[in-house]
Structure 1
Amino acid sequence: MDDLLPYLLVWLAVTVPGAVVGWFGTFRKAGQAGWKALVPAYNVFVLVVDVARLSPLWAVLLLIPGVNLVAALLVNVEVARRFGRSESFGLGLAVFGFVFYPVLGFGAARYQR
């Protein structure tokens, strides 16, 4: 485990800030306050209910092991659709959010209610 720790720390240092900064921009484009992206758990609820415009039940589904994998994919696909992007882009949001969320939040995409 000690051999993996430096790699894990580098991975966290790259992915977490990228995802948080991307969510900040995405939330702002969707008409939400950017600070909501910084509050753990609440940020997921806001992403599901206010950005993706899905039922709060989807936020509950994200808490169920196994089910959360499918629910996260579908929530990210819906976020991509709200910004006029494809389902493939939604898959990118789910798998490589630290890259795709900054592209979404600071790129040319416009939020569509």
Structure 2
Amino acid sequence: MLTFLEAAPLLANMQTTDNSGSTVGGAIGGVIGYILFVAAVWPLLRKAGQPAWVALIPVVAAFFIVRAAGLSAWWTLLYLIPIVNIVFAVIVALRLGRAFGHGALFSIFLLWLFPLIGYFILSYSRDTHNSARI
């Protein structure tokens, strides 16, 4: 029977270091996620009266989503502060939902917990953005 010290070199030789499959899968998943994000946010920003092309740059799109929620784009910097970013994301979701005529339940579940689904609903439904509702 082998002891752990004797078996360790044998186990180390059995492990493979080829991670190319996971790297390719991650890259494909990232590209698909990016395409879905752009497809969901582009019409949303257009409805909100913001430049839609900024959906191509996700970090910049966050600034314009915050503007669509009726806040200054500078408030987007709050996403960089731990704990505060969670509270701020809820506030943006509630204000964005209200701007499109939806209530708190829709905003919390579909704009905060599952934002991609919520953005698709806002983008491709007949909802209109009204900054007076904010």
TM-score range, shorter chain: 0.7 to 0.9
Q: Normalised by the size of structure 1, how large is the TM-score?
A: 0.80
Q: Taking structure 1 as reference, are residues 89 and 67 closer, same or farther at Cα in structure 2, changes over 3 Å only?
A: same
Residue in structure 1 matched with residue 82 of structure 2 by the alignment = 65
- Greater RCO between the two (CA within 8 Å, min separation 6)? 1
Letter in structure 2 aligned against 1:62: Y
Aligned residues with identical type, % of pairs: 30
The alignment partner of 1:85 has SS state of: coil
1:27 corresponds to which residue?
Answer: 45
Distance, in Å, in 2 between the alignment partners of 1:11 and 1:99 is: 17
Output the amino acid matched with 2:120.
P
* Residues 86-105 of structure 1 mapped to structure 2, 5 A cutoff: 86-91=103-108, 92-105=110-123
1:24-54 deviations in Å (ceiling 9; x for gaps): 11001111221111113211111112x1111
Structure 1 residue 18 and structure 2 residue 40: aligned?
no
Q: Describe the shift of the 1:38–1:73 C-alpha distance in structure 2 as closer, same or farther (beyond 3 A).
A: same
Q: CA RMSD in A?
A: 2.3
Change (3 A) 1:88 1:16: farther
Number of aligned residues: 112
TM-score between both structures, scaled by the size of structure 2: 0.69
Deviation at 1:94, TM superposition (A): 1.3
- Which has the greater radius of gyration? 2
Structure (1/2) with the larger helix percentage: 2
